[in-house]
Amino acid sequence: MIAERSGARVSAGYWFDPQRTMGIEAHFFILNPNSTGFAASSNGNPILARPFVDATTGLPAAQLIAFPGFTAGSVAINDTSRLLGAGTDYRMELCRSCAIGSVSGLLGYRFLRLRDSLVFSSTNVPIGVNFISGTTIAVTDQFDTTSSFHGLDLGLTGDIANGPWKLTWLAKLAIGGTFTKVGINGATVATVPGVGVVAGSGGFYALPTNMGSFDNSRFAVAPELAANVSYQISNNLRAFAGYSVIWWTGLVRPSGAMDTTINPTQLPPGALAGPARPQIQFNTTDYWIQGFNVGVAYNY
């Protein structure tokens, strides 16, 4: 899935010598939270249902949310994502007059963090003699993941100048690990006229066998490529525009933590009988970050 969002990136540096051959630089970026959602309601037509694999039979099945003559209901799904990154590098000039201009080596530290939250919620009103009229059943499943990357950053950067114009390029590879925390929680609340509210532990995809907090870590890499074209406005002021891309491996996101094989015997208010499913999953994915940037740089 591709999501467009705005953000900000700030970089700062300091030269250790007048010739600007050695220095240190730091950078930080953050993207605005991204939220996507889906919602639907039905009086029974069209049919609304949650798909799953029944752990007791091994066959595909579905839990009905809205079905003609049986239940009316609604469903909502919301996914929120937040991303930021930071790092610092020691920079040393390797070649000032190479065939492609000046080239410097980079050695430093890279940090990335992605927080995701996926919430499924539904409300249904059963129809039939087996239920008191007006009974409502609300089910909520929530999957939260926080993936953090820590790594050694190695790379090259350089400039190609032509009059007031300059092309600045960057190629880096961060080698380290992705550390993920997963939180799974679910709840079922039934409101019965004349009886009251009855709450149960567990929703549908989040049940006692997979609810809780879990940790996962694995080797990961985060390469980065960037190019900027700039124009020298004055001795100290330069305007620039460019493009950058970061590829991050080894993340566990909410969909990768979900298990869609479910033992329906433990659906509230039931008790588990048979296979203990769902279970926590650690299916990983890669994450691409692409950005276009414009700005000004002031040197002093």
Q: Cβ–Cβ contacts within 10 Å for residue 107, how many?
A: 12
Mean pLDDT of 75-80: 96
Tell me if 125 sits within 8 A of 138, measured CB to CB.
no
Q: Write the pLDDT tens digit of every residue in 141-166.
A: 999 999 999 999 999 999 998 889 98
| Residue 72 pLDDT | 93
* pLDDT above 70 coverage of the chain, percent: 97
Tens digit of each residue's pLDDT (9 = 90 or more) over 3-60: 567 778 888 899 999 988 999 999 999 988 888 999 999 998 999 999 999 999 999 9
Cβ-contact 153, 176 below 8 angstroms: no
- Pairing, β 165-192 against β 212-232: antiparallel
CB 174 within 8 A of CB 110: yes
- What is the distance between the alpha carbons of residues 32 and 226, in angstroms, rounded to a whole number? 21
Q: What is the pLDDT at residue 79?
A: 95
Predicted local distance difference test score (pLDDT) of residue 248: 97
Tokens describing residue 52: 């799953």
Distance CA 248, CA 153 (A): 13
Q: Residue 266 phi/psi, 5° resolution? A: -95, 5
- How much is the pTM? 0.87
Asked if the model's pLDDT at residue 254 lies above 90, the reply is: yes
196: confidence class by pLDDT, cuts 50, 70, 90: confident
Query: Residue 224 pLDDT > 70, yes or no?
Result: yes
Name the band, by pLDDT with cuts 50, 70 and 90, for residue 132: confident
Q: What is the pLDDT of residue 221?
A: 97
**How far is the C-alpha of 159 from the C-alpha of 136, rounded, in Å?**
65
C-alpha closest to that of 150 among 215, 220, 52: 220
3 state SS for the chain? CCCCCCEEEEEEEEECCCCCCEEEEEEEEEECCEEEEEEEEECCCCCEEEEEEECCCCCEEEEEEEECCCEEEEEEEEEEEEEEEEEEEEEEEEEEEECCEEEEEEEEEEEEEEEEEEEEEEEEEECCCCCCCCCEEEEEEEEEEEEEEEEEEEEEEEEEEECCEEEEEEEEEEEEEEEEEEEEEEEEEEEECCCEEEEEECCCCCCCCCCEEEEEEEEEEEEEEEEEEEEECCCCEEEEEEEEEEEEEEEECHHHHCCCEECHHHCCCCCCCCCCCCCCCCCEEEEEEEEEEEEEEECC
Tens-digit pLDDT profile for residues 86-113? 999 999 999 887 877 899 999 999 999 9
Q: What's phi and psi for 224, nearest 5 deg?
A: -140, 135
Q: Name which of 6-10, 11-15, 229-233, 238-242 the model is least confident about.
A: 6-10
Residue 2 has pLDDT above 60, yes or no: no
Best CA proximity match to 213, nearest among 185, 183, 186:
183
pLDDT band with cut points at 50, 70 and 90 for residue 129? low
